[in-house]
A and B are shown apart, each in its own frame.
Chain A
């Protein structure tokens, strides 16, 4: 479904991605882990060209992702950010309905109804008319996920979705993500939550020094890490 081919990214003289190739199939839940600065977030952002890769190609359903027509591509790939990036000047409901109505996916009434369904599903229907500033971090992130879901994306990309949250709020966000995964949503998740990776992912990928070092099902990944760097990494985070 998503194919990344030899993706490279360098800033000035610094090579952050040094040729990352990855195929994500429909229904996959792929977790990207690795030490900070290893390029996992950059890789995710290169998939939707929030960062422009310096080399390589990305394909979505066989169609190459380029700057031309990128808006249509992005509408099919939902993105969830570390810092939520909700629109502070709009109500929760408007945050969710803005893109679908502006892009003429649905009219205002349909979008409102869909937003309420999504809010119902994440248990925040009572917050529809609230502004983001009045919400907790966990609530904001769940709404950010709902906002991405409102576009009916084929795949959801998560960029460290729980890293900016207070510890007691991490659970509610992970719970929602688990539910999405069980529902068959294709997901690529950059995360430090090894528990989540172990439990939910069907593939865990270790990125280090700008390349993929390990790509295995979670059981093998955590049970017998052969790669030395991965062993060191896991010994620090587990």
Chain B
């Protein structure tokens, strides 16, 4: 008799009130957490959603962060006496955004997005991804801003002195050099986001932790679903850290500086 059938029989026995040894109980808990009724598929779906939410949030974060960083750097590089009023307003908006998002807890932001702003929406996962993206954007904007400011000012001067305008110089000369220096930090942000997606479960986002909670509610057993979830996150993070390491080495190799 193979182990699987054995465990399902023990589970039957437990449900009908039979006595089990400690080892048998342990095996039944494991069986119910992952194998019974093909529950591992729920975790797998959860992982899929987690990765999707991470990717979507990162995309929103990078787009938002780039726009904010660009506005702030452009604003700061204006000369005294030549300030553009529109840019001043945009810069103020960006600063408020950055301050509010970075000054309030992620969890509170999620509740506000899920229960107040989008209280009538049933797309919990998407609302969660949007909230994460907006949150991430504030941090990404600081990363990108740092990258843009780290490019030697002489590069901007050289571009401008050839007669190229500000935007052309920015996009052809400064940005390409900044991208290389921010990619590792963006990779880090991706990993932080991957773990933070577990938070969206509180507003009903159906990611990995949500799947684990579903199992816990059916089996009244917490240890295996939670440890399993932790292990899955750990493996995901290790895989992505390894991939980022490869990317970083590639970048260094193509470094023309």
Q: Tell me the A residues contacting B by CB distance below 8 Å.
A: 48, 50, 52, 67, 71-72, 74-79, 81, 83, 85-89, 98-99, 102-103, 131-133, 144, 147-148, 151
Contact = CB atoms under 8 A, between A and B. Distances in A.
Contacts of A144: 158
Contact of B79 (A52, A81, A102): A52
A75 B164 CA distance: 8
B163 interface: yes
A50 B177 contact: no
A103 B155 contact: no
A71 B172 contact: no
Interface string B224-244: 000000000000000000000
B37 interface: no
B163 A72 contact: yes
Given A131-B256, A133-B257, A81 B154 contact: yes
A151 B159 CA distance: 12
Chain B, interface size category, equals 20 to 34
B163 A151 contact: yes
Interface string B166-185: 00100011001100100000
In the A-B complex, the 3 residue pairs with the smallest Cβ-Cβ separation, listed nearest first, are A75-B163, A85-B158, A99-B162
B157 interface: yes
A86 B158 CA distance: 8
Contacts of B176: 89
Interface in B40-57: none
A148 B162 contact: yes
B152 interface: yes
A61 to B, nearest CB: 16
Most chain A C-beta atoms within 10 Å of own C-beta, residue among B162, B168, B172, B255: B162
Nearest to A86: B158
Contact of A85 (B152, B164, B172): B152
Nearest to A132: B256
A72 B158 CA distance: 15
B158 A71 contact: no
B256 A151 contact: no
B82 interface: yes
12 contacts: A72-B163, A75-B163, A81-B157, A81-B161, A83-B152, A87-B158, A87-B159, A88-B257, A89-B176, A98-B164, A133-B256, A151-B163
A83 B155 CA distance: 10
B160 interface: yes
A78 B158 CA distance: 10
Contact of B163 (A50, A85, A99, A131): A99
B74 interface: no
Given A71-B164, A78-B161, A98-B162, 5 more contacts: A79-B161, A81-B154, A89-B180, A131-B256, A148-B162
A103 B164 contact: yes
Given A87-B173, A102-B172, A132-B256, A71 B165 contact: yes
A87 B155 contact: yes
B79 A74 contact: no
A85 B157 contact: yes
B183 to A, nearest CB: 14
Given A81-B154, A98-B172, A132-B256, A74 B162 contact: yes
B155 A74 contact: no
A103 B154 contact: no
B164 A99 contact: yes
A50 B160 contact: yes
Contact of B82 (A67, A75, A76, A98): A67
A133 B257 CA distance: 5
A81 B158 CA distance: 8
Contacts of A132: 256
Contacts of A77: 161
Contact of B162 (A52, A67, A89, A151): A151
Contacts of B158: 79, 81, 85-87, 144
Given A52-B79, A88-B256, A89-B177, A102 B164 contact: yes
Nearest to B152: A85
Interface in B60-97: 79, 81-82
Nearest to A45: B157
